[in-house]
Amino acid sequence: MTPLPDGLIVVAKRDCPTCQLVEPLLPDIERQAGPLTVYSQDDPAFAAGVRGAQYDSTLEHSFRLQTEFVPTLIRVENGEEVERTYGWHRDDWRRLTGIEGLGEDLPMMRPGCGSKTLEPGIAEKLELQFGDTHLHAREIETDADDLIEACYERGWSDGLPVVPPTPERVLRMLRGTDRDPAEEIGLVPPDLAPCTVEKVAINAVMAGCKPEYMPVVLAALEAALTEEFGLHGLLCTTMFAGPMIIVNGPVAKSIGMNSGGNALGQGNRANATIGRALQLIVRNVGGGRPGEIDRATLGTPGKYTFCFAEAEDSEWLPLAEERGVPSGNSAVTLFAGEGVQGIVDQKSRTPESLAKSFALALRVVDHPKMAMAGDAVLVVSPEHSRVFIEAGWTKARLLEELENLLQFPGEEMVAGAGGITEGLPEQYRDKTIPKFRPGGLLIVRAGGTAGLFSAVIAGWAASGPVGSSPVTREVKV
């Protein structure tokens, strides 16, 4: 774009009542105040009586002038902007034009309208065409009439429709984070393909995310790519598990996540699309596809998406704080989770009785005779947690009680005991066996306020140092 022309510049559009209000003034301004350039955003005939009127058909001038409202009046001296005003403010227009009696018959003030450059879809196109932002991902040309079907044909879908990741949508998604689009987050297994912030944004678009979800998706990916989470093994296993995301902190509320009724189910956009975005990154960047590297015998619906927020409206310490994140900070905890196993106990009114119910339900994780293999998450509903809270039990106190209850005689756990071939090796017969390894049982509070129901989410049976451990990462903007 050429340097700004000295004199006055007006940016306007016909579809603005205030622009129509000032249009008759423009010939007088040109005649009395010197050079005047008028950029019309939507009508070549706007200000037809002004020699310096131009139709800004591409909106390049409006974009480069960083126009937010119309009409905008700008004074330029020596190629530099010295002052601007927007809308119609009689005193401002008189000061900038130097015309003392300008607009005497007009109202003192009228607000303007939004610039056409800021309309959805247009702003991103202008930024890509004229701005400093450049996307690095390869753009794929297609003649398909149905872009959703084109995504299916290229294998980018998890089986459900995806949102076509147009450059404009990707740019809009990238505005959800301050991080450089070219920043590499890490290598995504199984192909160990490098994944940048821009590639995360592409898959977040396809998943249906909003831009404000981006920091959470990035934190989840960072957790997934740690060695202790063991994503490659989780992808390759013939077992059921996939990545499950638990979100803590202010970000959960700010983006509208669900920690209440149906928190583990459908219906909330943030819950559904954040988990799906991580799964699509694994598929589309890392190459983790079912029937190829993903060899799950049965799988789980959670491999579409599995993400929810913890309810933090009680005395119980949130999971992220338990795991070392400072109070008030947002974080995600990634867990290799299987399906949801309900716990129905509508009669226990003491913490001791309810803890025993929970312990019985937890014993069946993987198999009642398997121990120290898979981790587990116990999701305690508000009505069940009330039983513990009113009795003065903290989450840590409940965890201690469950760990004591989940100790079993080895003679009950070894292979062959009870007529069941499955079980632990004979060497454990004379020992007391804990169900879970140290740190292998997590407790979170979530769910609706009606219903004495909680749930167990079993972990991958290869949990631990050689498999997968829960990983917590803070959310960064």
Task: Give me the residue spans of the domains in the chain.
Answer: 7-117, 147-474
Q: What is the pLDDT along the chain (477 residues), one digit of tens a residue?
A: 567 889 999 999 999 999 999 999 999 999 999 899 999 999 999 999 999 999 999 999 999 999 999 999 999 999 999 999 999 999 999 999 999 999 999 999 999 999 999 998 898 899 888 988 778 777 777 777 788 898 888 889 999 999 999 999 999 999 999 999 999 999 999 999 999 999 999 999 999 999 999 999 999 999 999 999 999 989 888 888 899 999 999 999 999 999 999 999 999 999 999 999 999 999 999 999 988 888 889 998 999 999 999 999 999 999 999 999 999 999 999 999 999 999 999 999 999 999 999 999 999 999 999 998 889 999 999 999 999 999 999 999 999 999 999 999 999 999 999 999 999 999 999 999 999 999 999 999 999 999 999 999 999 877 555 678 999 999 997
pLDDT at position 463: 57
Question: Tokens representing 101?
Answer: 């009696």
pLDDT at position 137: 78
- Distance, CA of 119 to CA of 123 (rounded, Å): 6
* Torsional sign, CA 54, 59, 64, 68: positive
The model's pLDDT over 85-107, given as tens digits with 9 standing for 90+, comes to 999 999 999 999 999 999 999 99
Question: Tokens representing 145?
Answer: 């009439």
CB neighbour class for 397 (10 Å; exposed up to 12, middle 13-18, buried from 19):
middle
- Distance, CA of 25 to CA of 90 (rounded, Å): 12
- Fold of the domain spanning 7-117: Glutaredoxin (3.40.30)
Contact 191, 282 (CB under 8 A): no
The model's pLDDT over 24-45, given as tens digits with 9 standing for 90+, comes to 999 999 999 989 999 999 999 9
pLDDT at position 1: 52
pLDDT at position 242: 92
Phi, psi of 451 (to 5 degrees): 125, 120
- Distance, CA of 183 to CA of 98 (rounded, Å): 50
- Distance, CA of 121 to CA of 167 (rounded, Å): 10
Q: What is the mean pLDDT of the chain?
A: 94
- Distance, CA of 434 to CA of 424 (rounded, Å): 12
What 3-state DSSP class applies to 300?
coil
Segment holding 57, helix H or strand E: none
Beta strands of 28-122 (E only): which ranges? 36-40, 53-55, 69-70, 72-77, 80-86, 88-89, 109-110, 113-114
Q: Which of 15, 8, 212 is nearest to 95 (CA)?
A: 8
Question: Tokens representing 468?
Answer: 């997968």
Strands 36-40 and 7-12, by their bridges, are parallel
Specify the pTM.
0.86
Q: For the residues of 287-308, what is the DSSP string, one character each?
A: ---BTTTB--SS--GGGT--EE
pLDDT at position 239: 87
- Distance, CA of 325 to CA of 51 (rounded, Å): 64
